[in-house]
Amino acid sequence: MSSILSRPTRLFILLSGLFVTNALMAEFIGVKIFALEDTLGLPPFDWRLFGQSGSLSFTAGVMLWPVVFIMTDIINEYFGVRGVRFISWLAVGFITYAFLFAYLAIGLVPASWWVGVASQRGVPDMQAAFAATFGQGLWTIGGSVTAFLIGQLIDVAIFHRIRTLTGERWIWLRATASTAVSQLVDSFVVLYIAFVLGPQQWPIDLFLAVGTVNYCYKMSMAILLIPLIYLGRRAIEQYLGAADAERLKTEAAA
């Protein structure tokens, strides 16, 4: 019981819970595509890359993925490579588990009265809406989970390497550099598996254009959120106390 109640243990449970919750929610709400310019009340950006053009449209999951990046770096700072790898595999396991039961729920025969219960709100078939919302394609799920795991493993390795070279200095550098490389891989792996190898068979120029736009957005958010890493670090060290915080960072660096 004393181990469960220790502050470092409670901190790891809290950070792991936030990490897994954000990753899981990002996967499920990612089915919605929104227009960034319209949401912000801006004129269309009309990007042009690799012979393609379009507006800034993203999955709703981009609201949460930047939080996952921050959580990865904070956990890496205090619990090291093993801590990030553990929660990354844990998140993948829970995401897979959640999608499995989502598909089982879709397969349940709906009550006849429930199918049309929201017809007056513009949803004539609740079963079709439920299946469309929670029944993401297997290629999309597989691509997203694979890209997430590869990105996390790359992120933790680069973060740890930079930390070994710089010590406690330049927190922003190891956080941003690790995210820059990991999200470069993540942004293109998920699209390649889901939309190039998958049934939609995207042409390579479209794949490169959309991947580049997504990567630029993720990096912009990673840079904008750097102050949160420092705020999170300060809050954690106040919670743990100087001695425990320093001990955890020393163990994580090793």
Counting Cβ atoms within 10 Å, is residue 27 exposed (0-12), middle (13-18) or buried (19+)?
Answer: buried
Does residue 101 surpass a pLDDT of 90?
yes
Does residue 36 surpass a pLDDT of 60?
yes
Lowest mean pLDDT among 44-58, 104-118, 173-187, 217-231: 44-58
Q: Which residue's structure tokens are 């597989």?
A: 142
Give the model's confidence band at 95: pLDDT under 50 very low, under 70 low, under 90 confident, else very high.
very high
Instruction: Write the DSSP string, 109-176.
Output: PPPHHHHTTTGGGT-S-HHHHHHHHH---HHHHHHHHHHHHHHHHHHHHHHHHHHHHHTTS-HHHHHH
Q: How far apart are CA 81 and CA 160, in angstroms?
A: 7
Does residue 1 surpass a pLDDT of 60?
no
Q: Indicate the residue type of 62.
A: V
Q: Indicate the residue type of 130.
A: F
Mean pLDDT for the chain? 88
Counting Cβ atoms within 10 Å, is residue 56 exposed (0-12), middle (13-18) or buried (19+)?
Answer: buried
Q: How far apart are CA 159 and CA 72, in angstroms?
A: 10
Condensed to tens digits (0 to 9), the pLDDT of residues 163-197 reads 888 877 888 888 888 888 988 988 899 889 988 88
Q: What is the pLDDT of residue 2?
A: 53
Does residue 5 surpass a pLDDT of 80?
no
Condensed to tens digits (0 to 9), the pLDDT of residues 12-25 reads 999 999 999 999 99
Q: What is the pLDDT of residue 60?
A: 86
Q: How far apart are CA 146 and CA 19, in angstroms?
A: 17
Q: How far apart are CA 77 and CA 159, in angstroms?
A: 9
Q: How far apart are CA 102 and CA 252, in angstroms?
A: 37
Q: What is the pLDDT of residue 69?
A: 84
Instruction: Write the DSSP string, 46-113.
Output: -EEETTEEE--EEEGGGGTHHHHHHHHHHHHHHHHHHHHHHHHHHHHHHHHHHHHHHHHHHHSPPPHH
What's the fold here for domain 2-48+58-108+126-253? Arp2/3 complex 21 kDa subunit ARPC3 (1.10.1760)
Condensed to tens digits (0 to 9), the pLDDT of residues 126-159 reads 999 999 888 877 788 888 889 999 998 898 889 8
Q: What is the pLDDT of residue 35?
A: 87
Instruction: Write the DSSP string, 226-242.
Output: HHHHHHHHHHHHHHH-H
Residues 223-228: what's their mean pLDDT? Answer: 88
Condensed to tens digits (0 to 9), the pLDDT of residues 56-94 reads 888 888 888 888 888 888 899 899 889 999 999 999 999
Give the model's confidence band at 225: pLDDT under 50 very low, under 70 low, under 90 confident, else very high.
confident
